[in-house]
Amino acid sequence: MASSPRSPLIVMRDTRAWQLQVWVSFGLAVFLCATGLAYLPGQALDRAFMVMGYVFCLSTVFVLSKAVRDTQKASLTGEAETPMWRLVVWGGFAVAMGLTLWGLLRMQIDETYKAYLGVSWLYLVTSAFTLAKTLRDRHEADLAEAHVAGRQQALAERSVAPAQAAA
């Protein structure tokens, strides 16, 4: 949206309530996963594998959400995108999710415990996507406000310069 001195740009931001909900949801998901993994019955190697899987999934969520957002921005601006990067990002996400699911399914623990770990894992992944989007939206709103402030300052300086030259 173009802005002029007569029509200011309105920067939309998430409400504080939404931001709080996103952070609380993410914190709750981390807590539930940590609790499930801390009390995971079985061998220490299984616990280590699952912790690594959860961390791998979490990190790939943030990379994937940034890559998707960058792809959308590139399509709007006409910038070229690196196809191999897209393959690495989506491949990493698929491998992280697939290996974690495989580890979860192959563990010899009670089915109820597997269900708890699976649901808390999916909750972690979805809340991480929401958190990544919220953080990126805030960053873009900050950039938009800085851009608007810079334009307003430039316009103010431009209008002061002719008045000083005339004096």
What sign does the dihedral 43-47-53-57 (CA atoms) show? positive
Q: State the pLDDT at residue 161.
A: 63
Residue position matching structure tokens 């004096």 = 167
> Whole-angstrom distance between the N-terminal and C-terminal Cα of the chain?
37
Is residue 78 exposed (0-12), middle (13-18) or buried (19+ Cβ within 10 Å)?
exposed
The pair of three-digit structure tokens given for residue 124, joined into one six-digit string: 């972690």
Q: State the pLDDT at residue 79.
A: 84
Q: Taking a C-beta distance cutoff of 8 angstroms, is the pair 69, 129 a contact? A: no
Q: State the pLDDT at residue 1.
A: 47
DSSP 8-state symbol, 56 = H
Q: State the pLDDT at residue 5.
A: 53
Residue position matching structure tokens 């974690």 = 100
| Entry pTM | 0.79
Q: State the pLDDT at residue 164.
A: 64
| Sequence ranges of the domains in the chain | 18-148
**Angle subtended at Cα 54 by Cα 49 and Cα 55, rounded to the nearest 5 degrees:** 100
Q: State the pLDDT at residue 24.
A: 97
Alpha-carbon distance of 19 to 83, in angstroms, equals 33
Mean pLDDT of residues grouped by 10 in the chain (167 residues)?
Answer: 57 90 97 94 88 96 92 85 89 96 92 94 96 92 85 78 62
The pair of three-digit structure tokens given for residue 117, joined into one six-digit string: 């770990």
